[in-house]
Amino acid sequence: MMTVHPRFFSRALKSFVIVGFGAFLFGCQESAPETQAITLKIAGVMPVFFEAQYGNSIRTENYDITIEFVPYELIPRDGGPSENLENLYSSFQPDVVNWSGALSPLIDQGLLAPLDVYIQKSGFDASVIPDVLKQRITKEGSNEIYAIPNRFSTEALFYNRSMLDQFEIELSDASPLSWEQLFQLAAIVPPEDGQGNAIIRLLETGEDESDANKLFSLIRIAALAENLQAINKDNGDVYVNSSSWQKLWQTFIAAFNQKLISSSEDIKPFIEQLDDEQSLRMDDVHRFKPFTDGRAAFVLGNSELLFYLQREELDFEWGIAPQPGTYQVFTQLAEALLINPSSEHKDAAWELISYLSSAEQTQRFLLAKPGDANQLFSNFPMHMDLLEQHLNRSLAPFYNQPSSQESYFDASPLPDVLSLAIYESSLSLIEEVLKESLSVEEALEQLQVKLESISAELFEGE
């Protein structure tokens, strides 16, 4: 089972998803002559959404496809990703699967059919797949593609351009800052405006989270952005008492103490302005309220915040820059279309996937009705160029960084007991550092000893 800390849920992707699968929507296709009738079984879609948009049949270039749905409520979800997919294959024999989440372990175990032969034969333009996604759909050490990422999620650094201009702060939309550089810029912004109203420098969302939890989340994000390991997953070696980890803890705790990172108390006045229904949905755009109200300088945000800012009339200008750090941490496949290696209808399955992920389908969503695109694209489409044209805005900060080896949303490669120990012990120790009961060095020394003890038992003899 996957162990995650609570911060995961407030950043999790938005889609028609229930643990491991998404839903996608379809449109109409011009008729094609001399097609072959065939039935394809699809898993990971909600029939009500599928049929509302298309019905239960689709005509591609060479096939009249009748869709048979794997009952959504019967899709295996109790095990790990590989176990769930294997059980899905053995129980229902789907031809096509719509998957959300990490694919690397599934690719390594041969659970996905390679797609390059179909891509080359059909002339499918794989160059439209953003680079940030390619390592998520290819086998390590190879460029061979195993899924088409129809929808995905990442995050970027949103900033209040009007506020930064007021204080003569320049920020590049092309090159990512380091976290130290971001805090240097944040420190230029005063804590209050001329009327005595508080200004949040870096908004860390989540009103109901402890400050230690906020700091743990940010430290983890910064570590992932540099591919920095806490523990070696292969041999159990522990690295948390290294100079790199000490620097991370010192950087974020110092920034928090200087009030460059929002505390739970900083956010409360904004949350109190929400009605009861909005407060219950603090995992959506309402968690960004200090920023959308023009009272925060910086915040990490996703497509949901982007679409909200695009459609609202605001009294300030805003911009986006790459997420701080070397690597994009929040890469997540929301809807990845893959073929069962045991399918007897791979050619037809590929034509279906090719059609569903086509530029024409993306364009249809974008042009459906005013405002509909923002609702349909709660995540980003693979065809980011079309979305950029539609919004008249470059979205490169969301996809121009290489993806980190481990995504913020991936199941931990460590045993659950170690993942939980890192989380719980780190929270306790961060709290002690904030109270000045421990120094960062003392806290990390204690964490090193604790994790080494647990790791030694788990990796004994290896």
Q: Give the pLDDT of residue 373.
A: 43
Q: What is the pLDDT of residues 149-208, one digit of tens each?
A: 999 999 999 999 999 999 999 998 888 999 999 999 999 999 998 888 899 999 998 656
Rounded CA-CA distance 157/177 in Å is 10
pLDDT > 90: percent of the chain: 70
pLDDT digit string (tens) for 262-309? 998 898 888 777 665 554 444 567 889 999 999 999 999 999 999 999
- Of 41-50, 290-299, 317-326, the least confident: 41-50
Q: Tell me the average pLDDT across 336-341.
A: 98
- The CA-CA-CA angle for residues 214, 220, 223, to 5°, reads 145
Has residue 20 got a pLDDT over 60? no
**Is residue 8's pLDDT more than 50?**
no
Residues 429, 269, 203, 157, Cα dihedral to 10°: 150
Least confident of 305-319, 371-385, 429-443: 371-385
In whole angstroms, give the CA distance from residue 47 to residue 56. 8
Please write down the long-range contacts of 438-442, taking CB distance under 8 Å and 24 or more positions apart: 440/246, 440/249, 440/250, 440/253, 441/246
Whole-number pLDDT of residue 4: 40
Cα–Cα distance for residue pair 398/380, rounded to 1 Å: 9
Q: Where is average pLDDT lowest: 5-9, 211-215, 309-313?
A: 5-9
Contact 333, 100 (CB under 8 A): yes
- Quick one: pLDDT at residue 374? 42
User: What is the band of 238 on the pLDDT scale with cuts at 50, 70, 90?
Assistant: very high
Identify the H or E element spanning 96.
strand 96-99
Indicate if the pLDDT at residue 47 is higher than 50.
yes
Q: What's the pLDDT at 18? A: 31
Q: Is 208 helix (H, G, I), strand (E, B) or coil?
A: coil
Region of poorest pLDDT, from 65-74, 82-91, 299-308, 365-374:
365-374
Q: Which of 73, 17, 127 is nearest to 379 (CA)?
A: 17
- For residue 178, the 8-state DSSP code is P
Residue type, 213: N
- Please tell me which residue, 313 or 368, carries the higher pLDDT value: 313
Q: Is 409 exposed, middle or buried (0-12, 13-18, 19+ CB in 10 A)?
A: buried
pLDDT at 141 over 90: no
Tell whether the model's pLDDT for residue 19 goes beyond 70. no
* Mean pLDDT of all residues in 239-256: 98
Q: What is the mean pLDDT of residues 393-422?
A: 93
